[in-house]
Structure 1
Amino acid sequence: MKTALLVIDVQQALIDDQPANKDAFLVNLKLLIDAAHEAGTEVIYVRHDGGEGDVLAYGEPGWQLDKSLAPRSEERIFEKRFNSAFLKTGLNEYLSDKGITNLVICGMQTEYCIDTSVKTAFEHGYEVVVPSGATTTYANPFLSGDKLVYFYERMIWHEPLARVVPLEEAIQILKK
């Protein structure tokens, strides 16, 4: 069993829009990334391209990964155009070639790209872990960002799609 940390869509424009618990979210991601680096666990980034005219358009300032993450030069960044980190990105083939069977998934937005990627990873047969507090999103007319995160962690993903675990447990998983 080989594990990788998958960091999805933590891009400057999305962070600038002040998602729920932004500061704690970024601290949690940094802890996960640091733990993965310390253990030699691969960190893989996924970045959304919203297309021409979008704040997440390829090459635009908002498209860049958040400055606080600073991927290492050897770390892979997969570009995507859809909610799924897997659709037309080559990610599944890459993971398969590397023998990666377990994914710790974190990033943005909880109810869009994270949700789709968790479900797709499950469909591809990966063992999926979502660290509690390591995804975020924004309020909508029905729920606050906090409540959306809680709802997805507890009602949508947790068993059988993924194991939603405390941050410390996810850090230990990355260190194995």
Structure 2
Amino acid sequence: MKIDHKTTLLLIDLQKGFEDIEYWGGGRNNPEAELNASKVLKAWRDKGLPLYHIQHCSTTKGSPLEHNNTGNEFIDLVKPMKDEPVIQKNVNSAFIGTDLKKQLEEKGVTKLVIVGLTTDHCISTTTRMAGNFGFETYLIEDAVATFDKIGVNGEKYPAQLIHDTALASLHEEFAMVIQSSDLMKLL
């Protein structure tokens, strides 16, 4: 993978509302995800490479990610700088209901690097669409995370299992799943 100005970083839903672990299921994996995402962001900024912050503006009443809720704010580790673009969405994909695809195409972007929350929802959906749109996509495994889930029969699935199976479904089909340390070697 060659990283150049045709490679864009997508920082998805790194928002304060995800700090409410109980709201999202009670357990979470990869407590270092946001820190790892911030390290990727710093390296990206140092190289002057293009990036987009994606912000989930939930339409679900009572969600920590509702537009006027403080949980909708980006976490301090990855807060956008004033000149960095922010794409607001209210569904799982950063491409649906936004002009992200158009903006990327107009800039000649061919490769995407994805970090953020949550592995099995917005990360997975955006990654699948990116791959289907023809972007060469890289998902940074240690810079994404998710929460415990309750199955259809009431069984509880731990966050790490949800994370691992979501990534297994994406790897080599929609994206290459790599570690942040591997990405850093390319920068």
- Say yes or no: TM over 0.5: yes
| Counterpart among 43, 47, 60 of residue 35 in structure 1 | 43
Aligned 1:9-158 pairs, distance under 5 A: 9-17=13-21, 19-22=28-31, 24-51=32-59, 53=61, 54-141=63-150, 142-153=156-167, 155-158=168-171
RMSD: 1.6
Give me the identity figure in percent: 26
Question: What residue ranges of structure 2 are gaps of 5+ in the alignment?
Answer: 22-26, 151-155
Once superposed, which parts of structure 1, at least 4 consecutive aligned residues long, lie more than 3 Å away? none
Q: Distance in 1 between matches of 2:103 and 2:42?
A: 22
CA shift at 1:52, angstroms? 6.2
Q: Secondary structure at the match of 1:84?
A: coil
- TM-score w.r.t. structure 1 length? 0.91
Larger CA deviation: 27-36 vs 49-58:
49-58
Q: Distance in 2 between matches of 1:16 and 1:68?
A: 17
CA shift at 1:58, angstroms? 1.2
Give the structure with higher Rg (CA): 2
Question: What residue ranges of structure 1 are gaps of 5+ in the alignment?
Answer: none
| Counterpart among 3, 7, 11 of residue 11 in structure 2 | 7
- TM-score w.r.t. structure 2 length? 0.86
Q: Distance in 2 between matches of 1:67 and 1:109?
A: 18
